[in-house]
Each structure stands twice: as C-alpha cells, then as structure tokens.
Amino acid sequence: MTGGERGQTITQVDTAETGQGDAGRRDTGVGTWRARIRRAIRAASRPSPWKRGLVLAALALLLGLILLLHAQITDRGGLGSLVETFLPWFGLFIPVLLIGALWRRSASAVAALLLPAVVWLNLFGGLLGDKSRLGGDLTVAEQNVNADNPDPAGTARDLAASGADVLALVELTPQATGTYEKELAKAYPYHTVQGTVGLWSKLPLSDTQPVDIQMDAGPLAATKPVDIKMAYNRALRATVATDQGPLAVYVAHLGSVRVNPRAGFWTAHRDRNAQALGEAIAAERNERVVLLGDLNGTMDDRVFASITSQLRSAQGEAGKGFGFTWPAKFPVVRIDQILVRGVKPESSWVLPATGGDHLPVAASISW
C-alpha cells in the first residue's frame, strides 16, 4: 500500500470515529434532557410544603380546639370532666405532632401547631415558674391518709414533723382515728374529728361542726376493705383563733370518681358534694376562709365553678409546677387542694410521701 492510500484509509477511519462520537453526544444530550423533563414532572407533581401533612395539621387544629373550648365539651358520661381532669397532659401531644410535621416537612402542620401551643401556654404556662415567696403568718397542710393505711402512727409523725400550724386529715376510720389523736396530741393540742375528716391545730378551735355535703354510701363502700367501717360525714367547719383574728377553715373529702363501662366517667356524688360545699362557703360570714381537702378533681374541672368562683388556689397563686398529688407513687393529677379567700398565699408545696395513697400538700399564708 502506498503512502497516499494509507493516509486516505486513516482519514476515513477518523471520519467514521468522529461520526460515531457526534452521534453518541447527541444521544447523551437527548437522554439528559429527558431525565431533566422527568425530574421536572416529578417535582411539579410533588405536593408543596403547605400541602403536605394535612392530616397532621387537622390533628393539631383539633387539639387546639379541645384546649380552647374544653368547657363546651359535653359532660354526658362525665366526658367533659374527664378531659378537664387531664387537660395539662394534652400538651404532650404538641411535641409529638411537631416531630411528625418536621419529618413530613409540612409547613401547614407546623403553622397549625401554633394554636394548641399558644392556648396551652395561656392555660398552664403560669404554673411552670416558681411563684413562692418567703414569709407567711400561718402554715396549713392536708392529706388523704388512706383508710387502709398500714402505718397510721408513722404517717402522723411525718405530718407533725412538717411544722404545719393547722393540719387537716381526710379518709379517717374509727380504727385509726385513735392512733392519729395519740400521735398528734403533743404537737397539736386542739383538734376535732367529724366523721371521716379531722382538723388538728396549734391554735384554739371554736365553732366546730360538720358540714352536710349530701354524701350517701353509693359505690364508695364497695371499694373499701370489709373490715374498715366508714362514717359518711365527710366535711367540717371550724374557726381557728389567730393573732390577726378568726380564720374559718373547711375540711372536705368529696365523693370519689369511678370509671364505669356503662356510665363512663362517673362523678355524680362528687359533683353533688361540690355544689353543696360551694353553697356552704357562700353562706360563710367570715371574710378569711381556707378550704383544705381531697376534692377528687382538679380546679380545671367545670364542676368546681361554685367553689373556684369564691376561692383561689394556693398552688396556682404561690406554687411551683403543677403540684400533682395522686397517686402517691406516680402522681399525675392534683386532686388535693388548698383554696383561700381573704388571705394571701405566700408559698405552696407538696410534702414527701407518707403511708397514704395521696401526697400531702401545704401552704404558707399571710394576712
């Protein structure tokens, strides 16, 4: 082959290779544009952040409405009282929904969560700080000591060590009352017991009398051990003589609540007791009033409106946190209350557990 022929052959090969390269580049370019078009279509069909997580957004709005309008929830079957009893715990749903909203990258769900967050903070944000102050003229305390308390003597000693000037005990039994009287006699020279409630005081007592809160045996009797006999008077009133003048003290143990498969959240006796107690306090002539007791409900529950319209919560005004009291081993609700009128709560706190199934509560008040 001559040199000219070899050059011609090389030129033809280069030309063929160049043609194949151009075709490959054209194919690659078309493929790239097709991929871009497919990605654009997918991006266009993908919901925007405002359209994602609509179910989460709906749940957030529902939660906010429950917190905002809890008083409008029907109380048929005790539903309204049940919701209001555990109302603070509804706040736990907010971070759960927030995690879901962030995982779904849902702007609508995050925005909807503003409603329950703002409402919850408005309802309970004030309880998160410490509002207690130093000082106080009188310390009061209360505990449901538990009818089947295995160590009433130990409970009495623990409560006496709290230093309270006035001490209220509820759910007393005839079998244990003598033990409490004996163990508390040295620290509290004055006391009165009316049925299942008692008041011990370092200051003189007068005008002691039972308060009729219309309690009948109902299902309560069936919940107590057969060897424990309960009297059914569950409230009293007494006047405590202080250096600043007389103080009316009420001690009450309202009816228990029950979860019944047919009746739901059963609160009939408690609700009736609360109404009667509210009427008794409304008739009280003394401007200075303290209510100590196991009310078997939280102050968010609408049924206590006749009481909370007249008295203020020491925990809400001068406490730290929610102050849960029941059950003693893992408290989730505050059903033991110290409510006041005409005096100023300086501090409110929960005492360590004793043999009772409720934690004791205490408050320091001034005039």
| 159 and 115 housed in the same domain | no
Domain membership flag for residue 362: yes
Residue where one domain finishes, among candidates 94, 127, 160: 127
Q: Which residues, 6+ apart, have CB-to-CB distance to 283 below 8 Å?
A: none
| 276 and 334 housed in the same domain | yes
pLDDT given for residue 230 in this prediction: 43
| 106 and 158 housed in the same domain | no
| 269 and 162 housed in the same domain | yes
Determine the Cα–Cα distance for residues 232 and 217; give it in Å rounded to an integer. Answer: 7
Taking each helix axis from N to C end, the angle separating 54-68 and 93-104, rounded to the nearest 10 degrees, works out to: 160
pLDDT, one tens digit per residue, over 52-63 is: 899 999 999 999
| 121 and 236 housed in the same domain | no
**DSSP secondary structure letter of residue 220:** G
Domain membership flag for residue 37: no
Q: Which structure tokens are listed for 130?
A: 């410490």
Phi, psi for residue 33 in degrees, rounded to 5: -65, -40
| 110 and 142 housed in the same domain | no
| 73 and 194 housed in the same domain | no
| 118 and 235 housed in the same domain | no
How many distinct structural domains can be found in the chain? 2
Domain membership flag for residue 4: no
Q: Where does residue 341 rank: exposed (0-12), middle (13-18), buried (19+ CB within 10 A)?
A: middle
Residue where one domain finishes, among candidates 108, 127, 146: 127
pLDDT given for residue 32 in this prediction: 80
| 272 and 176 housed in the same domain | yes
Amino acid occupying residue 230: M
Q: Which structure tokens are listed for 329?
A: 């081993």
Query: The domain that contains 238 carries what CATH number?
Result: 3.60.10.10
pLDDT given for residue 362 in this prediction: 98
pLDDT given for residue 141 in this prediction: 98
Domain membership flag for residue 11: no
Determine the Cα–Cα distance for residues 117 and 162; give it in Å rounded to an integer. Answer: 38
| 143 and 121 housed in the same domain | no
Domain membership flag for residue 39: no
Determine the Cα–Cα distance for residues 360 and 306; give it in Å rounded to an integer. Answer: 24
215-232 per-residue burial string, b: 16 or more CB within 10 A, e: under 16: beeeebeeeeeeeeebee
| 176 and 301 housed in the same domain | yes
Domain that holds residue 252: 138-366
| 206 and 231 housed in the same domain | yes
Determine the Cα–Cα distance for residues 332 and 316; give it in Å rounded to an integer. Answer: 16
Domain membership flag for residue 40: no
Residue where one domain finishes, among candidates 127, 150, 181: 127
Domain membership flag for residue 10: no
Region class of 136: left (phi > 0), else alpha (psi between -120 and 50), else beta: left
Domain membership flag for residue 205: yes
Contact 115, 68 (CB under 8 A): yes
- Each residue's pLDDT, cut to its tens digit, for the chain (367 residues) gives 555 555 454 445 454 444 455 555 555 666 687 777 667 666 555 667 788 899 999 999 999 999 999 999 998 888 999 999 999 999 999 999 999 999 999 999 999 999 999 999 999 999 999 999 998 999 999 999 999 999 999 999 999 999 999 999 999 999 999 999 999 999 999 999 999 999 999 999 999 999 998 644 444 444 444 344 445 789 999 999 999 999 999 999 999 888 776 667 788 889 999 999 999 999 999 999 999 999 999 999 999 999 999 999 999 999 999 999 999 999 999 999 999 999 999 999 999 999 899 999 999 999 9
pLDDT, one tens digit per residue, over 239-275 is: 999 999 999 999 999 998 887 766 677 888 899 999 9
